[in-house]
Structure 1
Amino acid sequence: MAFIGYARVSTQDQDNALQLDALGKAGCHVIYQEKASGSTRRGRQELARCLASLEKGDVLVVYKIDRIARSLFDLLEILRQLESVGATIKSVTEPLDTTNSMGVFVIQILGAVAQLERSMIRERSIAGQIAARERGRLPGRSRNLSKSDEPMLVSEYLSGAFTYEQLSRKYQVSISTVKRAVYRITKPSDYLKRGKC
């Protein structure tokens, strides 16, 4: 069994000495550290290396949970990774410690709360879509191109006198908006199959 530490600060200007001292006192002989924003897992390469290094019986030690996870969902995903290799996690400043039964129980409650939150978000989203349909609004973004401009744009494209890029400048829309308008008219069956009507 090994105690593996992970320390993170958000910017290059910040100092992680406090975290390093606390992790050292907790018995960590190996500490992964980085200076990176916690907003994306992709940007935290040392965290990825740390998690990949863990083996059965190892304990991942952090100063605070927000140093390792940006959200409850992120934390639960990390905990699933740890569980898959037989490792556990401990925070030196918070009551999160999956090395004991009470800590595991707390994690199970957090998991149930996260599942409830996901379900409630889904229910609200579906209810919002139904309400919008009842008011005559279709879900999704409104078109950038007006219904009167669209046939004119397509006609100009089909004449061969204009390119997608020229039409995007003329109608002040993106090239992808121009392409979608053309596809809606020239390839309606393909367009409907992709669900972009």
Structure 2
Amino acid sequence: MTVYGYARVSTKGQNLSRQIKALNEAGCETILKDKITGTKRERPALDELFATVKEGDLVIIQDLTRISRSTQDLLNIVNELDAKGVGLKSLKESWLDTSSQSPQSRLMLTIFAGLAQFERDITSERTKEGLEVAKENGKHIGRPKTKNEKVEHAITLWKQGTNIKDIEKLAGVSKTSLYRKLKERGLK
């Protein structure tokens, strides 16, 4: 039996060290890591994990949100691991241990996965409602707009043949903002 760990964060800027430490302390022999959103089912390390595990192995995760983003996704992952004879265990959700194959563990998995999905859906709904209220009240949502004077200066520099890195420094306008404005004006 091999004990695998699976760790995931959503963006490259986030850190896996807390998860890796917990998985090492749990006795994982091999830890596979992804830095990709959990909403995508195709994740390189998770795909490698499924290709590698064999009957009798155990996969440990720090918590459910690291391996799945929806109840259906979690149940599909559990079923896929079960079909291979592989158990799944969560360090945070101690009730999740499919290696025991107990009916109680299956029931808890279904109930709590549903509750976790419900919580994510409520949070998402509240966020959308909050954004709508902010828009109605005239608040700008998103990145701050680049000031027109800066953009005009950047376009002038661009027309003079200044390279993009220098334009970013001199005008204080990002390459993305500059290219967007150039495209809007039909200059690029």
8 Å CA contact 1:56, 1:85 repeated in 2: yes
The answer to whether the aligner puts 1:65 opposite 2:64 as a matched pair is yes
Which residue number corresponds to residue 50 of structure 1?
49
What are the Cα deviations for residues 25-61 of structure 1, in whole angstroms up to 9, with x where unaligned?
111110000100011102x121111122111110000
- Once the two structures are TM-superposed, the CA of residue 109 in structure 1 deviates from its matched residue by 5.3
Matches within 5 A, 1:1-197: 1-42=1-42, 44-95=43-94, 96-102=96-102, 104-108=103-107, 110-111=109-110
- Compute the displacement of 1:93 (Å): 1.3
One-letter amino acid of the structure 2 residue matched with residue 53 of structure 1 = T
TM-score (norm: length of structure 2) = 0.55
Between the aligned partners of 1:51 and 1:93, the Cα distance in structure 2 is 22
Answer yes or no: is the 8 Å Cα contact 1:6–1:33 preserved in 2.
Answer: yes
What is the letter of the counterpart of residue 54 of structure 2? E
Question: Do the aligned partners of residues 4 and 75 (structure 1) sit closer, same or farther apart at CA in structure 2, a change above 3 Å counting?
Answer: same
Taking a change above 3 Å as real, the CA distance of residues 84 and 101 of structure 1, as seen in their structure-2 partners, is: closer
**Are the counterparts in 2 of residues 72 and 110 from structure 1 also a CA contact under 8 Å?**
no
| Larger Cα-atom Rg | 1
Aligned partners of 2:91 and 2:113: how far apart in 1?
23
- Are the counterparts in 1 of residues 74 and 113 from structure 2 also a CA contact under 8 Å? no
Report sequence identity in percent.
37
Amino acid at match of 2:80: Q
Find the residue that maps to 1:12 and give its secondary structure.
coil
- Segments of structure 2 that go 5 or more residues without pairing to the other structure are 115-188
Cα deviation 1:92-135 (Å, max 9, x = unaligned): 11121112255x523245448989xxxxxxxxxxxxxxxxxxxx
Q: 2:6 corresponds to which letter in structure 1? A: Y
Shift of 1:76: 0.6
Q: Which runs of 4+ in 1 moved over 4 A?
A: 109-115
How many corresponding residue pairs?
113
3-state SS of 1:55 partner: coil
**Native 8 Å contact 2:57 2:87 kept in 1:** yes
Q: 1:46 to 1:72 in 2, by over 3 A?
A: same
Distance in 2 (alpha carbons) for counterparts of 1:114 and 1:17: 25
For the 8 Å contact 1:65–1:91, the answer to whether it is kept is: yes
Aligned counterparts of 1:61 and 1:110: Cα–Cα separation in 2: 15
Partner of 2:141: none
Aligned in 2, Cα 1:28/1:14: closer, same or farther, shift over 3 Å?
same
